[in-house]
Amino acid sequence: MVQRFTARPGTTATAGYFRSRWLPFVFLAPTLLSLGIFLYYPSVQTVTLSLLARRRPLPQERFVCLNNYVALAEDIIYRNSFLTTLFITVAIVLLAMGLSLGIALLASQKVRGASIYRTLLIWPFALSPVVAGAIFLALFREGSSGLINYALERGLNLSVSWLRDASLAPWVIVAASVWNILGFNILFYVAGLQNVPTDLLEAAQIDGANKLQRFIRITFPMLAPFTFFLLVTNVTYSFYGVYGAVDTLTQGGPTVGAGGALGGATNVLIYKLYDDAFSPGGSIGLAAAQAIVLFLIVAGLTLLQFRYIENRITYSG
Residue 17's pLDDT is: 67
Do residues 204 and 214 lie in contact, with contact meaning Cβ atoms separated by under 8 Å? yes
Q: What is the pLDDT of residues 234-257, one digit of tens each?
A: 999 999 999 999 999 999 989 887
Residue 57's pLDDT is: 64
The residues spanned by each domain of the chain are 53-312
Distances (CA, A) of 310 to 76, 125, 305: 35, 26, 7
**Angle between the 169-194 and 129-140 helix axes, to the nearest 10 degrees?**
130
Q: What is the pLDDT of residues 149-176, one digit of tens each?
A: 999 988 888 888 999 999 999 999 999 9
**Cα(214)–Cα(116) distance, rounded to whole angstroms?**
27
**Cα(247)–Cα(143) distance, rounded to whole angstroms?**
20
The reported pTM is 0.87
Residue 16's pLDDT is: 57
**Domain 53-312 = CATH 1.50.10.100:** no
